[in-house]
Structures are given as structure tokens and as C-alpha cells.
Structure 1
Amino acid sequence: MSPYISPLFGVAMSVSVLLIMSSSHWVFMWLGLELGTLAFVPILTWWHSSLEVEATVKYFIVQAMAAAMFFFGGLVSTGTEYISSLNQIVGNTGEVMIMLAVAMKLGLAPFHYWVVDVVQGLNYIPGMVLLTWQKVPGLMVLTQLGTTYNSFFLLTLGVLSPLLGGLGGLGQTQVRKLLAFSSNAHLGWLVSGCVIGSLLGITYFALYVVLSLPVFLFLHLLNAVHLNHLRMSLMFNPASGMLVGIGFLSLGGLPPFLGFFGKWLLLTHLVDGFLLGLAIMLIVGTLVSLFYYLRVSYLCLVILGPQQVMIGLSWRKIYMTNLVSGMVVLNMIGLVLVGGVSCLPK
């Protein structure tokens, strides 16, 4: 792909988000979603490998099915507005179809298996965009279309995602699949936050992006495919192993890391809203997924050993030392933020 054409696709993806933000009708939301999808498809095949082409075809087929379901749900909801008898029979079927279509586009459970297959065939950079930025248009649609009935439906899917994301990643040894299941688990927390309050969802999404970007970038530099391959790569890059290990601990939501702050913030609002069952189910799903977070962190921080990290750091690579130190400090401020927020008057 020409470097002069690729920025246009990034601009189109940004325009799709702006179109959804400024729209109040489902047709323009549908146009915004499809504009972002069509702009993202060429980015998936950047390196033109056979695995990328296969993953792109899978992504396009799923997105096309979801787009057809979204449009049909919009037509159903529009038709029932003018026919009272049909409205009594059909009810909120159109809105439910729209919500299911957006859930399929996001990869929300139980429609999450396509995300695992697509991410497995991609490089880390397009996979990072798929698991971060491509969630924004769908989440904005869910936030704008949310009602009392739809909120209960979305909270049900939000509880299901951490459970399936945790169980699905237990037996995985492929690094990209672990990241896909991890993203699905975080997506359940993110959808629950968007339903409770849009500002809460934005905060959790920003924290997830800040934690995920360094992990994806360093795994891209290491070119790790399998956990055993990751171990061999980290033997020659011990400083990167320290950052990846702490990044996975932070994604797991352990204190005092930064990922703990996002989960604590959401759980506080759930308890204040007397949604104790939802909070317990989210915690259970996170504890299940914590197993593979700890497995990767153990591989990066314990098996390599601190003496190898100190030997591997050289004064000629002082920029790497500063970068790792800065990211470690950033991930260690979770309890500081919790303490500061707790002292604020309510």
C-alpha cells in the first residue's frame, strides 16, 4: 500500500466516528459504521500475506452480515412506528436486532469467536487497531441507542463477555489469541461502563488503550507468536520482558497497577447503584482470566530473573531503560489514583 494513500483511510475512520456522534437517526449511524469498516479493510492487508488476506475476508463477511442485520432491524423499528397493531405484535424486535448487530460488529460475547480468528491471522499493529479504535463507533452507537429495556440486554452481554473471555483463554498458548480473549473480557467491563454512564465508559476505554498500546508495540518488536517463542525472544530483550510482564499484570487488574483503577471505579458505581449481582459476575470473570495474565507475567518476570534484566540493560540503550522505567511508573499509580478519588467529596 502506498504511504500517501494510507492516511486517507485513517481520516475516513475518524470521519465515521464524527458522523455517528452528530447523528440522531439509525440510518446515519449505519453509514458511519460502514464507512469505518470499509476504511479499515485495506489496513488489514498491509503486508499482503496469505494469513492476512484470510483474516480480512473473515472480518469483511462478519461485518457485512452485521450491517445487513442492522439495516433490517432499523426497517423493522421504522415500520412498527406507523402500524399500531404490528407494534403490539413485534414490540422492540427492531431495537434488539440493532443491538445484536452492533454486538456482532464489536465481537461482544457470544459473537466473539470471529475476533479470535481474525486477530490470530493479523500482525500486531492492525490487530491493535482492531481491538482498540475499531470499538469506538460501535460503543457510541450502543450509548446513543440505550434505553431501559436495551440497557438490561446490554448488561447481560456485558456480564457474559468476561466469563467467556476468561474461559476461552485458559488453554491458549498463542499470544495473539490471548490478547483477543483479553480484549473480549475487557469489552464486557467497557459495555457495562457505557450503560451505567458514558463518562465512566470513556474513562475505562482510555485506561485500556493506555495499557494495551505498549504491550502491543513491544510484542510487535519481539515478533512473538507462541509463548515459547516469547520466552526465547525475551532472553535477548530482558527490558522488554519487564514491560510486557507488568503490562499483563496491569491488564489483569491487580493492585497497585493502573488497570486496577478502572475496575475499581466501575465496581464503585455498580455497588452504589445496587447492582451487586452484576459486580460479582464481572469479578468472577476477571478472576478466571487472571490465570493466563499471571502465566505470561510469570514467564516474563520470574523465569527470566532480575539478574538477566540487569545484564541485558546497556548504557548504549539508555533510551530503552528510560522507556521501560517510565511505563513501569505509569502502571504503578493505580492505588495512588484510588486514594485520591476516594478523598474527593461526594
Structure 2
Amino acid sequence: LSLTTSTLITMTSNHWLLAWLGLELNTLSILPIIMKSHHPRATEATTKYFMVQATAATMILMASIMTAWQTGQWSIPHTTPTTTLLTTTAIMLKLGIAPLHLWYPQVLQGITMNTALVISTWQKIAPLTLLYMTHHNLNTQVLLLLGLASALIGGWAGLNQTQTRTIMAFSSIAHMGWLITAMTMNPGLTTLTMLTYLITTIATFKPLAMSKTMLDVGTSWPLSPTTLTTTMMTLMSLGGLPPLTGFMPKWLILKELTSAGLTLIATLILMASLPSLFFYVRLAYLTTLTTPPSTTNTTHKWR
């Protein structure tokens, strides 16, 4: 309830203090959920998450006070170039966008898959709303570079991972890169990209909730091939493979970039998405096209 309320406070507020209050309430309400398992890794993840989010929230509070001091306005759209830069940095830190992404895979690695789902989806809505409300003041070149860096790092760093949660963390970083690239071009397209990301991420995370590594996913094929086939389809969709849903926002973003004459950026971000697609295909191959270790007389439940 607190999670929902805090996000709604930030989304509906036009005042910097209310937005900051919503973000702080959001952070405090997720901490017990992360700590739920009482595992040492969960405690470590909670501490890291709290420190990162508290730092970002302090930066937003400082930026809002500077804005009020310089302009005499507390409303969110009224910002100066300095405070806009500070706010953007804080939001990038909250979202786990490169180069401020290092905390994100480490936090996701120490928590359960369901909690990781909440952090990867719901917790991104409030900071993105703030970014959305201040987008007309943002530096387009900086956002495009950050988006490209996120797509590159999310793709290349994910290649080296075997744990499903870490793979999904780097996947999320890459998707956030596409999202802020869309924000520089067309705010309406950002909403579509975010909705597609939310739907496909939820559809991917839920079946993977019982697995920790790629091999765990592979052993579930004999038990439930239908679920696993659907999971593989959503993974391919996350990778942006045509003609699946995840391809549509990427195609529209590339169209917007080329229309604006940014063909080089469009080519680079398209190439950056190839490693992401590769590790999704690798995950699909390991799960559906290879058989798990078993004896020759093993009976499959679905036959």
C-alpha cells in the first residue's frame, strides 16, 4: 500500500518537496520487502539500495532548494540548467542508468526474483515521471549519450553472466537506455516503451522466480514445456526480435532518430542491442533446445 501511495504522490505532485517526499516514502516502503528473507545477501542488498536511493533523494532535495532560491518557484517544470543537471544525475542514479549502474546488478543478485521484479518495474515509475516532467529542460546530447552508454553496457556486461537475476538486471539497464533515448525524441513514445517494458518484464520474471542460474531454467522443461516456451517468447520479445511486441518500440525509436538526422546514434544503439539479443537467444537455447542431465529411461510428465 505504501509503495503504491508513494509512487502516486510523486506522479501527481507539481511541487518539488512533495515529489521528494514520495520518493523517500517509496524507498522506505521497499526496504522491509528486500529484507524479508533475512539472508546476509539480502541485508547487504538492502544496505546498498538504501544508500544509493538516499544519496539520489538528497541530490533531488538539494536541487529543489537551489531552484526555489534562484527562481522563487517550487513547481517541478521551473528549473535552472545547474539544478536540471543535478536532478538528472540523481534520477539516473535511482534508475540505475550507466555510468551510475554498478549498484543495480549487485542488489538484484542478493534478493528474491519477485522483489527483483518490483525493483525493476514499479520502482522505476516515480523517477521516470520526474524525468518526464522536466524533459523540456534536459540536455538532449547528454541524454542520448547516457542512453547509448546504458544500451552498450547493459548488453556487453550481460554476456558474462550465468545467474538469471543478474542477466535481467543488465537487460533492465539496456532497456532504460532505450527509454531515455525515446524521451529526447518523443515523450509519447516513452510511455509506449515503458508500458511494453513493464508487460514483457513481468511476463519474463514470473516464470523465472524459482530459478537462480541458466541450468535451473533448463531442468524445468520436462515439467512444464508450455510455461517455458512462453517464457522464451517473452525473452525474445525483451530482446526486440521481430515480429514480437518488444520490437515495436525499438523500431519506432530508430525511426524517430533517423527522422531527426541522428543516423549515427541510431546505428550505434541498434548495434548495442545485439549482445542483449544474443544472451536472450543463448538462454532460450539452453532451456528449450538442450536436454537436462537425465538417464535414458526418464519419463517426461508432458508426454
Q: Shared fold (TM-score greater than 0.5)?
A: yes
2:156 maps to 1:167: yes
Shift, 1:108, TM fit = 0.8
Contact 2:200-2:234 at 8 Å conserved across structures: yes
Q: Which residue of 1 aligns with 2:4?
A: 14
Shift, 1:104, TM fit = 0.3
* Residues in 2 aligned to 1:30 and 1:278: alpha-carbon distance in whole angstroms: 33
Shift, 1:148, TM fit = 4.7
* Residues in 2 aligned to 1:18 and 1:242: alpha-carbon distance in whole angstroms: 35
Pairing partner for 1:239 from 214, 218, 226: 226
Contact 1:169-1:181 at 8 Å conserved across structures: yes
Contact 2:218-2:288 at 8 Å conserved across structures: no
- RMSD of aligned Cα (Å): 2.1
Contact 1:239-1:312 at 8 Å conserved across structures: no
Pairing partner for 2:273 from 286, 305, 313: 286
Pairing partner for 1:44 from 21, 34, 53: 34
Shift, 1:311, TM fit = 5.2
> 2:2 corresponds to which letter in structure 1?
A
> Could you give the per-residue CA deviations for residues 22-72 of structure 1, whole angstroms, max 9, x where no partner exists?
322322221221121112212212333222222111100111111112222
Shift, 1:252, TM fit = 0.8
> 1:262 corresponds to which letter in structure 2?
P
* Residues in 2 aligned to 1:161 and 1:254: alpha-carbon distance in whole angstroms: 19
Q: Which residue of 2 aligns with 1:194?
A: 183
Tell me the TM-score normalized by structure 1. 0.78
Structure with more helix by fraction = 1
Q: Which residue of 2 aligns with 1:58?
A: 48
| Larger mean Cα displacement after TM superposition, 54-63 or 71-80 | 71-80
2:250 maps to 1:263: yes
* Residues in 2 aligned to 1:109 and 1:103: alpha-carbon distance in whole angstroms: 8
Tell me the TM-score normalized by structure 2. 0.88
Unaligned runs of 5+ in 2: 73-79, 293-298
Q: Which residue of 1 aligns with 2:235?
A: 248
Contact 1:238-1:304 at 8 Å conserved across structures: no
> 1:47 corresponds to which letter in structure 2?
S
> Could you give the per-residue CA deviations for residues 161-195 of structure 1, whole angstroms, max 9, x where no partner exists?
11010111111111110000001101111122233
Pairing partner for 1:153 from 127, 142, 150: 142
Percent identity, aligned pairs only?
35
Q: Which residue of 2 aligns with 1:209?
A: 198
Number of residue equivalences: 290
* Residues in 2 aligned to 1:312 and 1:300: alpha-carbon distance in whole angstroms: 16
Shift, 1:312, TM fit = 4.1
| Larger mean Cα displacement after TM superposition, 51-60 or 227-236 | 227-236
Shift, 1:149, TM fit = 4.2
2:263 maps to 1:276: yes
